[in-house]
Structure formats: C-alpha cells, structure tokens
A and B are shown apart, each in its own frame.
Chain A
C-alpha cells in the first residue's frame, strides 16, 4: 500500500552561442534592432540560398563538450529536421541527429553530501528559430488573428544539451542547471540569460516505485524561465504524478508549456498526425571532422571548471557558501580578498550576502580595499560600511575614510545621551518598566539616531537595560 516513489528527471537545455554571426549565414548574431533588419537570403530561406557553417560555433560546441567530459565525434553530420511553422523558414531546422559533435559525457554536481554525477547523453549544434508574434485586432495575445514573424533571431547558433535521466530530486536538478549555466558563461560561449532566452530548458519528469528501474510515462515541462520556477514546477509535477498513481490512475504523456514565447517547434496537431520529423543528412553541407589537433588546442583553452572549484572551496567553507560563491561568479574575488588578509568566513559572508546585493561587477573590485572593509566591518558604523560597499567597485576607491569612522563604545560618552533620551520619553520609559520590553528597540533606535549611527549597538543595548531597569 504505502509505496515510496522515486522521481526520475531528465533535462534538455538549449544555449544560444554569442558568436559574431549566425550559424549558417554571416548576418550579425545578437538580435534586437528593427524587425527583419538582420536577415539575408539564407536566413530568410529565399530560393537558391545555401547554408555555410560558422567555424567558431563548431569549435565552441566542441569546447563545451570537452568541459562536459564528452567524447568528441571523429565525424559529425548535420541533419534536416522537417516541420512547417512560420518561424521555421526552410520548413526544416538544420540540426544533428545520430552523429552529434559531442556524446557520452557527464557533469559532476557538488552537493552537501559529496558530488552527484549526471550523465550527458549528447551535446549538438543546431540553428534557432525566428520569433513569432501572435496578434489580435488590438494588441498582442493568444487566440490571435494573425502571426507576425521577425527573422532576426532565425539562425542563431544553438547548442542542445541532453542529460540522462540521472536526476532524482528538484534541488539537484536546480543545482545542475546553475552549474551548467556557470560553466557555459565561464567558457565565454554564451550569456546564458534565462530572461532573454539565451538559455532555455525543458524537463522530463516521471516517478516509479523506489528500488525498481522501470521507466514510466513522463511529462514534459517546457520553457521555464527561472531555476526556482523549475524546481517548484518539478516538485509540483512529482507530487501530482504520485497522487495519480496512488489513486490507481495513469499519467498520460503531455507537455506543459510555461513560456510559450520560447516555443521551438509547433504543438502537435492531433494524434493521427503525431510529429514525424523525417530526419535525413543535410545534403547542402559536408561532414565535420574535428581532428586531434583542433580538439587538443580547444582542451588547452579550458581553465579549472566551476564544479571542481566548489569542491575545493568547500574544504575551507561550508558547501553552501562555496556553491553560492562559485555559481554566483564570486569565488575568484573571494580568493583575492582572503589573500589580501581577510578572514575566509567573513569574506564569504560579505560577498554572498551584502556584496551580491549591490550588483557590482566582481572584476571591477580592488580586493585589497575590500579586504580592509571586511576585516574592520565590526568596528565601523553599519551605515559607513554599507556606503563603502556600494562604492567598492568605483575606480580608485579607498576604504580608509570609512575605516576612520570608528564606532562609539565608550559608556562615559554614551550614558549621558541615553539618559537624556529616557527623560525625553517618560511615557515609553514607564511602559518598559511595567514589562513592555519590546520598547527597548524604540530606545535603541533613538540613541542610534542621536549618534548618527556611530554608537555600538551592543553597548547601547546593555546600557539601556541598566539605565531603564
């Protein structure tokens, strides 16, 4: 009766490469600009136009494959994937099928309890679709009266990464996605911005009785636009499927769209016309044969990867801090600040909590100055510290003027101020004495105000209790 259920999760991720030009024509990549202003006969699929592959896109895909410990194909082939849709001008997408550039890799995802290895089935190169805008007589919405097409995005190089169904919980799935994103960003392949669609992902979810290895019907969650959203969506879907099975029902294969703006292929029309893409080798292109030399050159361009750094840093800090620092792109600054003399834990706290909120580019920061701030943050007024942190990215920033503003902890200096404030607020003072201790905060606030925030809150609290007592 009380089966325990094991979720089975697989991911399919699309990442737009930030090359100078498109995948199969030399139109500028990185759309924007007037609609259809970045197009040519090739990406508009005019009669007679032919694709010519972008060398850099091929090399960057191989690089990502190497970062994911994939086998790089000795011979890779482009295929045509046939389907009609307004955003697909040739009515086929040039993609890869049974001979992808990269296959059989993995990404080790650090977790609190060591690393979880997630298998990478394949990473292949293809072209992005155009943008459909569905419009009604007034404004833009669904159930539209017309579809407008802008081909600027059409032909943007797109890497598709497919994982094995090795994920069994939403949290690890989220960590995998964050780590993959950071890896792609650090390799310089893509901005991988979910909100701009330069990174998109679909999730396949099914559940099975724990301990079995059956694969039950899976549902597909498409185009979720945030990692947290994805984690929530996965948890909700897992719960839903378990509920269905425990009620003796069956889960049917379906696709749940979260962000229709980023659809890649059209929804199926009907059962009897189940999508048949009729893949076949693209006869306008010849095979890609990377060769040892190229692959080794690309391997040499890859530095220490985020996953490895999380594990290494987690030896000094908590796993949580290490994860936040690395996936937040803050760990290199952290190392520099620590080298400059700051306490590792304090530095991590400042970076992961306060600094991250400022949105300052870590690479713009003078680690030495930041280290000073971190080390003395207990001794200077909170207001001064916040102000300094907000400015730490400015060129020529110096921490010294802020360090000069010491906190006042001397009771001889503070007591008279505190007494004055108690006298000025007799009502509140009486209520406090009659047990309403919540009012302490009110008095602390008054004192800090009076001292322009320079008073040491710890001392003020102590003295207030005594003097009100």
Chain B
C-alpha cells in the first residue's frame, strides 16, 4: 500500500498501522522516501535515522532535544559531534508509545532565532516558498510536518519557536503551559521559559501528542501534574468568551493581509456562537520584547557556560585551561549565541543587575498580572501569531533588533507562562497566516476545543500549494 505522506495525519497513520493496513516499517520507509525526495531542497533535517526501533508511527525531533545514541547538535558547531548517552524524558515518553524517531530537525543555534538562519549547518527553506524562511527557531520541525516528511514532530518554544514557525508554514503548533512538559534532557536556552511542545498537521494530533509528553517528571523539579487531555470534537463555540487584545492586532509592522485573515476567522468564531470582545494588554505588548531579551539572555549566559571543552563537545587547544575555554567557545558558538551570552552577562554583572535583570523581572510581574486579569473575563485571547507572513531568507539577518520583533506577539504569553496554540487561518500573498489562541494556565483543553472548531470552520489546506 502506498501512502500520501503530504495528507496523512498522525491519527490516520496510527490507525493504518494498528489495523494492519500497513506495517510500521512500511510507513517509516514511506517517510524516509519523502525525505529523500523533498529534503535536499528544504534542509529540514540535520540527521535522518535509517531505522529506529518501535512498532508505532514516526516522529521528527527538534535537534535541541537529547536522543540517546542519536546526534544532538542544537544547531551548533560546539555540539557537532555530540551523541547523548541518555534520552530526554519527552523522548522516553514517545518511546513507551512506540513512536519512532525518524530524524533530528534543523534549528537556530541553541534555539536562538526566528528564522532558522542561525543554524550552524545552514538554513531551512519554507515549503510554501523555498526562497523564504520557515520561521524559527523550530523551522526544521515546521518544514518537515508541512512538507509531509513526518506526520508530526516535537519542537521547543522559549519566546515563540513553535508557534511562529507553525504560523509561517501553515500548520498547528502548541506551546504548552510552563511546567506541564519535562525539560529534562532538552538542551537549555532559558530555563524559566523553555517548553517542549507538539508540532502537528491538525488540532487532534496536536492534542494527542501533548497527552503523550505532558505530566510531572521526577527529573524536572519545575513540572506538575496536568489535567487529563480531552481529544477535541467540538464543531461549535457556544459560550466561548474570546478576548481580542487591541495592542496585538494594531501592533507596529503588522501586514494588512495578516489582520484581514485573522479578522475573518474572528467573524467565523462569532458565527459559531462565541462572543468576541476587544480588550487590552497595555504594557505586555509594548514591553514584552525588551523584558524577554533581558531575561532569556541572562539565563542563557549561564546555561551555555557548560560548553567549556572538558566533558563533551568541541575542544580547541590552549596553553592553559582559560585559553582553551576562550578559544573553544569562540570557535564553537555562532554570532547569535555570542550576542545573547554577552547581553546576558552584562545584564547580570555588578552595577547593572538592578537596572536590567531585576527591572525585567518586575516587568514580567506586570505582564503576568495583565494576563491574569483578562482571564477573569475571557476563556481565550486571540491575535495574529506573527505580524508578517514568511519573509525572504537574508532579509533581517544583519539586524538583530528587527529579527527580535518577529516574536512581539508570541513573547508576552510566554513571559506569563501561559499556553499558546497556532492554527492556520488563511493566506496572504499566497503564504500562510497564523492565528494565535492564548489560554489561561493549564487551559490546554480549552485551546484544543476552540482551535478544533475553528479549524473545521476555516477548512485551511495545510499542504503547500506548490506540493499539491
């Protein structure tokens, strides 16, 4: 039996295997063939597993997630030859469900970026238009799912690395509530923000994969037990109270085509029985990016300090320990990690701590409070996921600050530790537009229900036009 990996959902693939319509190996090989056919153009994968044990369906894994015996580079030269000796908890969870790793997907170095152009191993291309970026940092997982190179994938999201690529590649991605998915075994970027989450072709697959990876982990003291996941079936939105933060839909640089598609989806939501009301996040949108680009680099400056050439990874020569470490880190890290490490060290250094890091922590409180207040009146908040559709490769690479603004709409809820889910809601200039649903803490089931009903009503075809 031949399968169309461009159209097959994980749920369908799983049914084919359990019903014996196709063997796990045959399905795995079908995806290997798709990779052989389309990945040379896209470069979604940094490593492809010829064969990985398991009886279930394949899954692609962002290369910041540690996989025992399978190279894990985090998109960095400093880990080019690193092969973990233990599985991340999320990988162990996938394995107990029979899922088979088909490969490791491209990422901005240490997940630092919004375009996957910061990968030390070259950029990934957007399946809808290979001259454009797939978003980032999880551009590899996004492109792989969008182009049918994997039925689903795991990503990681610190300030938008799951949601923004899902928006730019036109599929579903969830950044879960902070603390619901283990970070153990995941190469750390910013510990108080990093969350692993599902990348999928539809909301039901997304919800199912979330149920596989979520829950308390003894190896991660920042995890908690989560409510049982309900696979969504909703076709309507009766009683759902949607808040639309005006700052998000009026943010500087937002493209008209993006607003139009999102507003059309909001009208659909109303026709499905939801109440839609404008609301406000006065300071979260204005100050979120500045807050994020102090806190995340500060934590990163410490998290990336362990790359010292002693126990694993790249080692350059040096007359003494200090010289060896400095040369190793200079040779191993690309510009973006270097920039963030230095900004972070600066923000934490004596004399600047209060003005930068501690002030940012207080802004974080403000952002959290603004969201908490809104969720007393609303079940979900809706906005565009990204102010723009996919932009051309190279367009923003020399302007870090402009690049940072890609995440202006995804960052605030990340700072507040809240879940956010992207669904495609239409096209602009022939490229996907993403709609972001933000929920209250542990409100994943609400997001799944709302997103599923909207998804059905919108009827977006996730297969890139040029591949149909």
Residues of A within 8 A of B (CB): 41, 44-53, 80, 82, 84-86, 89-92, 147, 149, 269, 276, 278-280, 283-286
Contact = CB atoms under 8 A, between A and B. Distances in A.
Contacts of A280: 298-299, 302, 348, 353, 357
Q: Can you list the 5 inter-chain pairs with the closest CB atoms, starting with the nearest?
A: A91-B305, A283-B191, A278-B348, A283-B192, A48-B185
A48 B88 contact: yes
Interface in B202-223: 218-222
Contact of A92 (B86, B220, B302, B310): B302
Contacts of A84: 305, 308, 321-322, 325
Contact of A48 (B187, B221, B298, B301): B187
Given A52-B219, A89-B310, 10 more contacts: A48-B84, A52-B220, A52-B221, A86-B321, A91-B305, A91-B308, A149-B310, A278-B301, A280-B299, A284-B221
- Chain A facing B: main interface SS: loop
8 contacts: A46-B86, A48-B188, A50-B183, A50-B219, A84-B321, A91-B306, A280-B298, A285-B221
Contacts of B85: 41, 46
Given A46-B84, A278-B349, A286-B222, A80 B183 contact: no
B107 to A, nearest CB: 14
B350 interface: yes
A149 B348 CA distance: 29
B321 A284 contact: no
A41 B86 contact: yes
Given A46-B311, A89-B310, A278-B349, A52 B218 contact: yes
Contact of B74 (A47, A53, A80): A47
Interface in B297-316: 298-299, 301-302, 305-306, 308, 310-312
Given A44-B311, A284-B191, A284-B222, A50 B302 contact: no
Contacts of B306: 45, 47, 89-91
B321 A147 contact: yes
A85 B350 CA distance: 20
Nearest to B194: A283
Contact of B299 (A46, A48, A51, A283): A283
Contacts of B222: 283-286
A45 B299 CA distance: 16
B270 to A, nearest CB: 40
Contact of B349 (A48, A53, A91, A276): A276
A136 to B, nearest CB: 14
Nearest to B183: A50
Contacts of A46: 84-86, 311-312
A53 B222 CA distance: 12
Contacts of B84: 46-48
A173 B350 CA distance: 33
Given A48-B186, A51-B221, A276 B350 contact: yes
B72 interface: yes
Chain B CB within 10 A, most for which of A47, A89, A269:
A47
B82 interface: yes
Contacts of A80: 302
A326 B299 CA distance: 48
B298 A49 contact: no
B325 A82 contact: no
Contacts of B350: 276, 278
Which of A90, A149, A276, A283 counts the most chain B CB atoms within 10 A?
A283
A51 B312 CA distance: 19
A53 B322 contact: no
Contacts of A50: 183-184, 219-221
Interface string B348-368: 111001000100000000000
Contacts of B46: none
A438 B350 CA distance: 74
Nearest to B321: A86
A21 to B, nearest CB: 13
A210 B53 CA distance: 78
A313 B82 CA distance: 63
Nearest to A36: B311
